[in-house]
Amino acid sequence: MSLQPLLLLSAALFCVGIYGVVSRRNAVGILLSVELMMNAVNINLVGFAHYHASHVGQVFAVFSIALTVAEVVVGLALVILLSRARKDIAVDSAEALRG
């Protein structure tokens, strides 16, 4: 398999993730879009590792997945706090929580 289909898939996923971040007002939708963008980066890492016959990209992808999981945990904790304080998870209402 050549590298081009993987790069096209990754670019398409990344573009869908960017559209989701820009167009959503729901915090959970934004977190899902960021997760989609991170998965596109992981596809790039694994694709280039396969293309260059190296395992370095796969190791970076595993670390990237671990960092993404930590980011999602912190993000969901913030969403839970937002929903408890405002009874809404819209990102616009998070501005009112500032100090």
Distant-in-sequence contacts of 65-72, Cβ < 8 A, 24+ apart: 68/35, 68/38, 71/34, 71/38, 72/31, 72/35
* Residues of the chain below pLDDT 70: 93-99
pLDDT at residue 89, as a whole number: 75
CATH, residue 32: 1.10.287.3510
pLDDT at residue 97, as a whole number: 64
Instruction: Print the domain residue range for 66.
Output: 3-97
**pTM here?**
0.83
Q: What is the dihedral of CA 46, 47, 48, 50, to 10 degrees?
A: 80
* Count of domains observed in the chain: 1
